[in-house]
Structure 1
Amino acid sequence: MKAKPCENILGLAMGSEQSRLRQQLVAASMGMVTTHVLGVCVQLKICDLLRDEPLAISELARVTGTQPEPLRELLIILASLDVVTIEEEAVALKPSGRLLLADQTGNVVQWVQYAAEFCAPAWMELADVLLGIPPAAGSKRRIYDALSSKRYPAEIFHGAMQDTQVEISATLAEAIRLNPGEVVADLGAGQSSFLIELLMRYPNTSAIAFDRFSDFTAMKQLAHAQGVAGRLQTIRGSFLDPLPFRVDVIVFKNVLADWSMEHLKRILTMARQGLNPDGRMYIATTFVHDPPSPDEAVVSLNLRVLTEGGDRSEVDYVAIAKEAGFELTRQERVAAIMILEFSLKGTA
């Protein structure tokens, strides 16, 4: 079996249970190695250089402007991750390495960049999160401040978030029912394909994609390709402020967990004011068990590290929506996705 990075970084003989457990914890503590190795692989476009044919390590070093020996070590780690193979100094791309090509369908390039550039620096402040210490000015934990100041590229953030919304968008598109002539707004839309899918299902409707940071480039391209661009409007703005439109349906997809309860109430109040009297609001979020699974705990803790929020239950959303003037009309769970439908109080 191929050794993984840091699997026996101490070089211990694994004769005793204590040695095995010790090495296991040491390997876990070096998890940042994988994050940064993959991040640098993307940054240097190593997989792009290997796309068509194997290259010698010396040639890769020349083309990337790197030092041969450190590059060799990085490539050995990439080989242990099944990204490349190394045979007699020749480096070749493996199938999983093709997922680090930006033009490959289903690639994880922007997710890797998000992990290395957004998450890894912010997790250095994990203790502050646990101790309840607010992030200072310039903190890596203020992800939306960083996006506002353009310290981090918004396209990387939205690209990574799009990966997390594929399943939730498809599930929500199945659950929503639109009437002819209705207008639906996706608040915090990013670059999601959700509205395009919805417009294709309901040809006599129109939609508004609303987001503070997105330039909507990928969404517009897809809308043109699918022939629905004429029914899609894109607007830059914050859902913490009064909305510049009134619509029949408002949708939130996995974005509300980023905000404190105080901000969440304001967001839903703005949504209520942006709805027509018989309008509907949908909140789609990932279902979280109590207690959460390890993966769910990672996702929630990552939210707490990067934002002021954290994963919440449907009970939390129903309660805060009620305070903002909504009442629950339908609740549906599809696999790991929870969909909550609300109407304005007194109209259900």
Structure 2
Amino acid sequence: MDLLKMPEFLGQGTEDTTQRPPDLCVLQGWKESMLISYNAAVKKFGQFMKSKRESIYHLPLTPDVIYRFVTWAGRGEGDNNSGKITAQSLTKYLHGLKAWHLYHNKPYPYQTKPRVKLMLKASGRHDACIPPKPGKAPFLIIDLSNLYSYLTGRGAEAEAVSDLAVVAFWGMARLAKLTNARQHGPIPYKQGLTTNDVQTYKGATLLSIYKAKTAKPGEIQTIKLRPILSQLCPVEAIRRHLAKPSSAGDSIFAAWNTLYRPKLSGHSFKVGGASLRHAVGVKIDDIKSLGRWTSDCYQQYIKPLSQEEVTTSLSLLQIPRVKHRSI
């Protein structure tokens, strides 16, 4: 866990603090991604205090400060500038402030809950009048095909990027879960996808993923890849990298980290894979299983595709539109 990613959360406002062993033990009860989210909330609160020219503050926060923060951050009547955040985001920030108090063993002013609930409801009504921001853009088959063609023959590093994209798309995986910061040699146990985490069968290849965002503590999730008759076959992409000289604990896609990366979101591949499957009629339960989702959070990854986008995708894969029901 990188403590440098959460300095605001580790501090108590403007007071100097030292992390003791019990504190670090509490900290490890959260996933790093969640702590980074909490840190963003505390950082936002710090911006609020700075805007009010209150240079000294500490925990616990008072009810009045909570009310003022919600008013400052959320939208209201005649208070709709571009720096405002949605009621949904503000709710998450308040969860972060509660976790901040919990970590430092300070009492959060829970008596604010009834009034804050009404304030968030009012803010949400104003949010409804604002055009929504564009969602995560799906990475489509045509994008995958163009990337594959562009990088083929440009060396081992470029081809590692190409194969990584293929696996991320069909596996509906975040790029961070398929890569590791180490460029050479073995990586620590369960800290990233290695050659040891690949199981190959006749009809499928399975990848073991550790510390996934949707996993329970200690749970190992599995990415299921099936072969397809296309140059964009994920099983072939894995096979190519297993065939390269490496040690058992080496990262499969280490070369990705040494190449200039196309400006792709780590979520773009999950969005593209889920959206295409939904567009061709794959059942929701199957999509949730393939994406390793157990709740309705899958909905944020499914974007509508036009008939042309679907037809083009299946044409590139050489799959007839009417016959295809499972990818």
TM-score category by the smaller chain? under 0.3
Higher strand share: 1
> What TM-score comes out, normalization by structure 1 length?
0.22
Higher relative contact order (Cα pairs below 8 Å, separated by 6+ residues): 2
